[in-house]
């Protein structure tokens, strides 16, 4: 599981609840959360879920909606942010990892200011954004990560 997501969950949640992974890929995070007792749903393009379009789960609302390294690929970021918002319960938390605009490997990163504005526009609150360097052990290079979290 994404170590930063795991830390976020351990900090924000006292017990396993219900989570949605937008852009689940190989479902690694979903499987790990399920092992911890979470009820999880993951969606991905491979399942026919195009996150360029609004998506509302029939299982909503969720206590946590998260996405790792998907937002930078989405053209309509407003639709994606709305999808996060619409699937969260009131006071539910979101967690997003994407690449920062100065990442030396990924050219489609975004600025902290852009992400802050995008999330505020959707009505999220208690938004926290941080930028940090992370070494990708699999690909053997560094990334500049943009992490955002907050509440509905």
pLDDT in tens, the chain (152 residues): 899 999 999 999 999 999 999 999 999 999 999 999 999 999 999 999 999 999 999 999 999 999 999 999 999 999 999 999 999 999 999 999 999 999 888 888 899 999 999 999 999 999 999 999 999 888 898 999 999 999 99
Range of the domain at 66: 3-151
Task: Return all residues near 138 (Cβ < 8 A) that are at least 6 apart.
Answer: none
Return all residues near 47 (Cβ < 8 A) that are at least 6 apart: none
CATH code for position 137: 3.40.50.150
Kindly list the distances between the CA atom of residue 21 and the CA atoms of 47, 62, 105, 110, in Å, as whole numbers in the listed order: 13, 10, 24, 21
- The crossing angle, in degrees rounded to 10, of helices 3-12 and 28-35 is 40
What are the tokens at 63? 């206590």
Please give the tally of structural domains in the chain.
1
Burial (CB count <10 Å: 0-12, 13-18, 19+), residue 27: middle
């Amino acid at each position: 599981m994404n170590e930063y997501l795991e830390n976020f969950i351990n900090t924000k949640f006292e017990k396993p609840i219900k989570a949605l992974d937008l852009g689940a890929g190989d479902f690694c995070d979903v499987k790990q959360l399920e092992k911890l007792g979470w009820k999880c749903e993951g969606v991905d393009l491979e399942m026919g879920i195009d996150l360029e379009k609004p998506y509302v789960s029939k299982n909503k609302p969720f206590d946590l909606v998260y996405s790792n390294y998907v937002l930078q690929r989405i053209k309509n970021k407003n639709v994606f942010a709305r999808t996060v918002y619409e699937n969260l319960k009131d006071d539910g938390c979101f967690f997003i990892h994407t690449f920062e605009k100065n990442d030396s490997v990924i050219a489609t990163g975004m600025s902290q200011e852009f992400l802050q504005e995008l999330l505020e526009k959707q009505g999220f609150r208690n938004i926290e954004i941080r930028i940090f360097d992370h070494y990708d052990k699999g690909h053997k290079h560094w990334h500049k990560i943009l992490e955002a979290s907050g509440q509905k």
